[in-house]
Structure formats: structure tokens, C-alpha cells
Amino acid sequence: MALRESARLDDVTTPIPFVPPLDDVRYGAVEQMTPWIRRVIADNPTKYSYRGTGTYVVGHGDVVVIDPGPNLDTHRDALTTALDGEHVRAILVTHCHADHSPLAAWLREVTGAPTIAFGPHGAVDFDDEESDVPVEESIDLGFAPDVVAIDGEVVAEIGGATMRAVHTPGHTSNHLCFSLDAEHALFTGDHVMGWSTTVVSPPDGDMRAYIDSLAKVGGRRDAVLWPTHGNPITDPEPFLDAYLGHRLDRERQVLAEVRAGSLTIPAMVEVLYADVRTELHKAAGRSVFSHLVKLVGDGLIVADGGAPTLKSQFHAV
């Protein structure tokens, strides 16, 4: 399998198995990806969302919609076209970031289908001076599902196929993936993406939970992963092994920096992300912070003042 390096937010040293780049995007078009799966990509490309949010329509006649996407008129109109003549049975939301869940409210109103998710967003840091995206804009704080799904629960049955919730906290505490047994497929939201590693940003993001969730998904042995951003991952096992391996390598690098005398997050980022564009350094700093929180919990380092913060100084034990 070919390997490549890409401009990932926090991956500059370890190549991961190749996934074809999503270059020829036709925003608003309804793409038939497999006999069961259609995709509509929203015109919301950013440095965090890659080419845009991919909304999935699963089934025919009776359908399920996964991650309706951002509150864009063009995407709403595209979904109206895609769902013409269909009966929406359920609206599945992987998590409530603003590029995933906002159109769920509109879709629920026009179809009567329930929204299904793990729950609303967890802890929010409104005083995060390090963030370059206002919290109120990046999180859909108004989202609360009609139906709260638990891990392993059946969330929809369509055309003889069953879909189940798979709780994968880490990127957010309420993150869910959804399995489709008819194609041995897993819709992975932002937990596993087809172009980049994902940001894990405390207080709601949790690196320990994320690493555990990666191992959980790796143990499922799905045939294909369908991320909300990027192309499908058709050979999941080596991809997930590399994904998990990178996180563990990064943890070792962060610990080594602390032991070498790097006391602050900016000092660590300057070394560990020297080859990453500077506009991504704040996101990289959040990733480093999540590793530091885990390492403090492991008893390998300590933070001045007790609980670790973005402005703490860190020392090896």
C-alpha cells in the first residue's frame, strides 16, 4: 500500500496509509457511493473541514441521514433535492460541531424524523484565549437529540439493514459512530477522518478517551470507514494501526520534550510542529495540551499550580 505525507494538523513525522485526496468536488451533487450509500458535500471548506462536510443518505425509500451539516442555504437545497420522494426515518448526528449538526433542526421540521445522538455537547471553555475560532460559532450549543443513543444500541432499521450506535468519545465526549451491517461499514464522523488526524481539544476533548476509542474501532474489523470529511478508508486495519501509532508516538515526543526542559506548550509546539504551517499551531497546541493532561493523569509529569492549563509550566516527575 502506498504511503504519503499530508498537511495534517498534528501529523508531521509519521506517514499513514494512503487515502486518495478528495479533489474533484461537486458541491451539492448527489453521489451514489455504494448500493446503500449516497453522499452530498457541503460548500464549507476550511483548514479544519477539508473540502467540506459530507452528509450521507443511507437506503432507498426509507432512508437515514447522517450529519445533515452546516446551516448553509445551498446545502439545505441540495439535501431537499437528494431526499425528494424519500421517507426519512431518522437523523443521525455524530456530534454537535457547527459543521455537522445545525441542519438537523430544519430536517426534523420538514420530515418529522427524530434526531438521534449521544447527547448535547459536553464541557465548554468560553474563556479559551488560545482558540482562533469563537466557541459559540464552532459548537452547535443549541443541539439536543430527540432520542439519546447508547453504545451498541440499534438506532435504525431500513430495508432489512440495521444501524447501530458506537460511542467513540475523544474528539468530543458525545461523539458517536454509526455502523451499517449490510455493508460492514462504519460512519466515523470526525473520530477517524479521510484526510487528517482529528483535533482533540480539552476540556470536552479527551486524549485518553480518544486513544481508547481508536482501539475500540480497530477491534471491530469493519470493511470500510466513511468519514464526514474526506474519502472512504477501504483498508481500515493498517490505517487505524498507523493512526493509533501516531498518537502514541506523539505522546512519547511530548514527554521527551518535557524531560528535555520544554516547560510550556508554545515551546513544545515550536519543536514538534516545526514543519507545520504557523496558522495551525494553535490547533497543534490544543493537541499537545490534550497529551499533557493525559500524562499528568498518568503521573509522569506535573503542572505548576496543580490542574494543567494552556498556560501551565510542566515538569517531569
- The rounded percent of the chain whose pLDDT value lies above 90 is 77
End-to-end CA distance of the chain: 41
State pLDDT tens for residues 1-28.
222 233 333 443 334 555 777 778 999 9
The model's pLDDT over 113-159, given as tens digits with 9 standing for 90+, comes to 999 999 998 877 654 444 444 443 488 989 999 999 999 999 999 99
Domain boundaries, the chain: 3-246, 249-316
Q: Which CATH number fits domain 249-316: 3.20.10.10, 1.10.10.10, 3.90.199.10, 3.40.50.720?
A: 1.10.10.10
Average pLDDT of the segment spanning 192-198 = 88
Long-range contacts of 261-264 (CB under 8 A, 24+ apart): 263/313, 263/314, 263/315, 264/311, 264/312, 264/313, 264/314
The mean pLDDT value of the chain amounts to 89
pLDDT of residue 48: 79
pLDDT surpassing 70 at residue 174:
yes
Question: How distant, in Å, are the alpha carbons of 24, 69, 78, 188, 236 from that of 42?
Answer: 13, 7, 9, 17, 25
Instruction: Give the model's pLDDT for residue 299.
Output: 97
CATH number of 3-246: 3.60.15.10
DSSP string for 212-256: HHHHHHHTT--SEEEESSS--BSSHHHHHHHHHHHHHHHHHHHHH
**pLDDT at residue 18, as a whole number:** 57
Whether 83 has a pLDDT exceeding 90, the answer reads yes
Let me know: does 103 contact 75? Beta carbons within 8 Å: yes
Preceding peptide of 203 cis, ω within 30°:
yes
pLDDT of residue 4: 28
Average pLDDT of the residues in 39-62: 94
Counting every residue written for the chain, the total comes to 317
Grid coordinates representing 77? 437545497
DSSP state of 171: S
pLDDT reported for residue 15: 40
Q: What is the pLDDT of residues 211-227, one digit of tens each?
A: 999 999 999 999 999 99
Q: Which helix (H) or strand (E) holds 188?
A: strand 185-189
pLDDT score for 43: 95
**pLDDT higher than 70, residue 96:** yes
Decide which of 277 and 312 is more confident: 312
Q: What is the pLDDT of residues 253-293, one digit of tens each?
A: 999 999 999 999 999 999 999 988 888 888 889 999 999 99
Comparing 3 with 200, the larger pLDDT belongs to 200
Least confident of 42-46, 120-124, 163-167: 120-124
pLDDT of residue 125: 66
Torsion sign over Cα 9, 15, 18, 23: positive
Cα–Cα dist 90/245, whole Å = 35
